[in-house]
Amino acid sequence: MRDTLTLRRPDDWHLHLRDGAMLRAVLPETTRHFARAIVMPNLVPPVVTGADAAAYRARIMAALPEGTDFTPLMTLYLTEETDPEDVAAAHASGLVTAVKLYPAGATTNSASGVRDFDRVRGVLEKMAEIGLPLCVHGEVTDPAVDIFDRESVFIDRVLDPVRRATPGLRVIMEHITTANGVEYVRAHDRDLGATITTHHLIINRNHILVGGIKPHYYCLPVAKREEHRLALRAAATSGDARFFLGTDSAPHIDPLKESACGCAGCFTATNTLSILAHVFEQEQALDHLEAFTSLNGPAFYRLPPNEARTTLSKGDAVSYPGKIDTDDGPVTVFDPGFALHWRVT
Ligand code: NCD
Ligand code: ZN
């Protein structure tokens, strides 16, 4: 039985670092294990322009622990007012790696997102022309659509029409949670990839709702039925280059999670690699872990994989903190519900 594993150093292709005290507290949890991360722009106010992204990048660099080798890959938050020329300039200078599309109201801090897709056509056409990828939060916000159907309806109503209308646009379906998402990606071999989170490989909707409500398992898109979790596990562990890791590690302080109207987000930066090794071993796919964490993402983003290596070894149960302290309050670390034996050495 295998008990060590050496990989190219992983990257996280979907991460929330926040700002201020939260940024300072959670950044080391990511930089300990990841060389690069696609940094989500849903701050308050959002990171909309190239100038916003430059300033946010500087704040991240200033918060990096001494001697840390980490590259934040910046994104712009797409609004109906986004200027295609500002986006193109931010891309040309190397400042931004992707643009993020939030349907207005779909998730945390998405109020400035897109309502009318016709109004962002010019930006999307410019992005297709210059090869700048679009990261998509794929859920409709129509109140008539059940929350568990919002991803599959989005694919039919929005994603497929937008892709057809914008040939050459490179799209990442972020944090897919359904077999429908997996199938849509599998059916298209050009210009389409998907990130999968760590927690969606572990929990289904029962984990959130059975035996008392578990706010720390609540995230968006919300975890679906077991059959969907199994489809995600099959996709992630398959080695298929279109699927790669985006943890969507999304810290909120405990009082905002454990509330009458709790925030969405699971904080998984701390133990993600141990959980993933566990999942890939269960699926007898440890040979595909490197593709998922370290190779497929760079290939999609047309970046070289990292030269540095990370070694995981299997042994006694790994101990990790149940909470991370921040100057704003505690953040609970995702509990997979079982002991972890793979540690990063
Ligand atoms: C994210 C957050 O808290 O910013 N929450 C989440 O549940 N994933 C937003 C997002 O990525 O949808
Ligand atoms: Zn996210």
SS (H, E, C) 274-288: HHHHHHHHHCCCHHH
Distance from C-alpha of 170 to C-alpha of 93, rounded to nearest angstrom? 19
Please tell me if the CB atom of residue 223 comes closer than 6 angstroms to any atom of ligand 1.
no
In this predicted structure, the answer to whether residue 212 has a pLDDT above a threshold of 80 is yes
User: What is residue 332's three-state secondary structure?
Assistant: strand
Neighbouring residues of the ion ligand 2, judged by CB less than 5 Å: 248
pTM above 0.85, yes or no: yes
Catalytic: which of 248, 325, 327, 328? 248
Rg (CA), the chain: 19
- Ligand nearest to the Cα of 256, by number: 1
Please tell me if the CB atom of residue 191 comes closer than 6 angstroms to any atom of ligand 1.
no
Please tell me the distance between residue 284's alpha carbon and the centre of ligand 1 in angstroms. Answer: 30
Looking at the structure of the chain, the number of domains it has is 1
| Confidence (pLDDT) at 45 | 95
* CATH for 216: 3.20.20.140
* Domain of residue 274, residue span: 4-344
The mean pLDDT value of the chain amounts to 97
Distance from C-alpha of 5 to C-alpha of 297, rounded to nearest angstrom? 19
Please tell me the distance between residue 209's alpha carbon and the centre of ligand 1 in angstroms. Answer: 19
pLDDT tier, 107 (very low <50, low <70, confident <90, very high otherwise)? confident
Distance from C-alpha of 219 to C-alpha of 64, rounded to nearest angstrom? 27
Task: Give the bridge partners for 314, in sequence order.
Answer: 342
Beta strands in 229-275 (DSSP E): 243-245
pLDDT tens, 38-91?
A: 999 999 999 999 999 999 999 999 999 999 999 999 999 999 999 999 999 999
Please tell me if the CB atom of residue 16 comes closer than 6 angstroms to any atom of ligand 1.
yes
List the residue whose alpha carbon is closest to atom 4 of ligand 1: 108
Please tell me if the CB atom of residue 265 comes closer than 6 angstroms to any atom of ligand 1.
yes
User: How large is the average pLDDT for residues 144-163?
Assistant: 98
User: What is residue 163's three-state secondary structure?
Assistant: helix
User: What is residue 260's three-state secondary structure?
Assistant: coil
Q: Is the dihedral of CA 332, 334, 339, 343 positive or negative?
A: negative
pLDDT tens, 313-322?
A: 999 999 999 9
Counted residue by residue, the chain has a size of 345
Which atom of ligand 1 has the smallest separation from the CA of 219? 7
Distance from C-alpha of 110 to C-alpha of 101, rounded to nearest angstrom? 9
Residue reference for tokens 């016709």: 118
- Any catalytic annotation for residue 254? no
Please tell me the distance between residue 197's alpha carbon and the centre of ligand 2 in angstroms. Answer: 9
- How many C-beta neighbours within 10 Å does residue 3 have? 10
Please tell me if the CB atom of residue 269 comes closer than 6 angstroms to any atom of ligand 1.
no
The tokens of 96 are what?
A: 């931004």
Please tell me if the CB atom of residue 108 comes closer than 6 angstroms to any atom of ligand 1.
yes
Question: For 118, which DSSP code?
Answer: G
